[in-house]
Amino acid sequence: MSDLAYQPSMLDPALLGHGPERPNLGPLAGGLRRHRLIRGAWVDHLPGWVRGSDQVLETLLRGVEWRAERRRMYDGEVAVPRLLRWYGRGEALPHETLTEARERLTRHYAAELGEPFVTAGMCLYRDGRDSVAWHGDTHGRSSRIDTMVAIVSFGSPRALLLRPRGGGESLRFPLGHGDLIVMGGSCQRTWEHSVPKTARPVGPRVSVQFRPIGVA
Ligand SMILES: O=C(O)CCC(=O)C(=O)O
């Protein structure tokens, strides 16, 4: 994947020589800001949760077996506009910071979620032409119950948009290198989210989505 050049952030403290050398996670409590949405949905947002994230991104770009998928559309088939990799229960994640992130999220949300984050879905947006269309994650239990999907973003900033199902004004969350966003409550059933294409010249972005088992 040599064409996926990512320009390391010159603001990354690890590169300025006075910050952490290794990736590490900031505190969740006190840092997360909750946005309460209509219909029992909410979004927690914490920019810059993963510090020193260049190393994680490098591992994700070079070390993950990314898969191109195709899906049926009308009477033909189209390429899914992003690359994908799914890590199921018990499968080792490609970087220890991701394993730690999943554990920290599980601990932080234990009382509210009542079960651990288990799976990690990953998407690689190679450039601004890659995207994900409006949808909710309603393929599993999330079609019936309140749950959470926690997303950690690495690489070029992209916007995650949210809008109420059936119409309404959309909200925009800019997701930058090392940022965390958690969609909770009824969000997957009552709202939809998307990452639109952009004409801006953006580099690669990897989204890591942690979900409880049976949520997809
Ligand atoms: O890129 C993202 O952060 C969102 C990915 C997403 O919505 C999905 O894979 O269901």
Tell me which H or E stretch contains 108: helix 96-108
CA distance 209 to 211: 6
Tell me which H or E stretch contains 51: strand 50-51
| pLDDT tens digits, one per residue of 147-161 | 999 999 999 999 999
- The answer, yes or no, to whether residue 102 has pLDDT greater than 60, is yes
pTM of structure: 0.92
- Answer yes or no: is the C-beta of 179 below 6 A from any ligand 1 atom: no
30 occurs within a structural domain = no
184 occurs within a structural domain = yes
pLDDT value, residue 117: 98
24 occurs within a structural domain = no
82 occurs within a structural domain = yes
- Answer yes or no: is the C-beta of 151 below 6 A from any ligand 1 atom: yes
- The answer, yes or no, to whether residue 145 has pLDDT greater than 70, is yes
- Residue 13: pLDDT band by 50, 70, 90 thresholds? low
28 occurs within a structural domain = no
- Answer yes or no: is the C-beta of 37 below 6 A from any ligand 1 atom: no
Task: Over range 20-38, report the average pLDDT.
Answer: 92
- The answer, yes or no, to whether residue 16 has pLDDT greater than 90, is no
- The answer, yes or no, to whether residue 2 has pLDDT greater than 50, is no
| Choice from 82, 126, 152, 209 to test ligand 1 binding pocket (greatest atom count within 8 A of CB) | 209
19 occurs within a structural domain = no
Nearest CA to ligand 1 atom 2: 207
- Residue 1: pLDDT band by 50, 70, 90 thresholds? very low
By residue count, the chain amounts to 216
Centre of ligand 1 to C-alpha 184, Å, is: 14
CA distance 84 to 5: 18
- Answer yes or no: is the C-beta of 209 below 6 A from any ligand 1 atom: yes
143 occurs within a structural domain = yes
Domain that holds residue 112: 35-211
Total number of domains in the chain? 1
Centre of ligand 1 to C-alpha 207, Å, is: 7
3 occurs within a structural domain = no
The CATH number linked to 70 is 2.60.120.590
Name the β-bridge partners of 207. 123, 153
- Answer yes or no: is the C-beta of 137 below 6 A from any ligand 1 atom: yes
| Choice from 71, 132, 158 to test ligand 1 binding pocket (greatest atom count within 8 A of CB) | 132
Q: Count CB atoms within 10 A of the CB of residue 178.
A: 26
| pLDDT tens digits, one per residue of 30-86 | 999 999 999 999 999 999 999 999 999 999 999 999 999 999 888 899 999 999 999
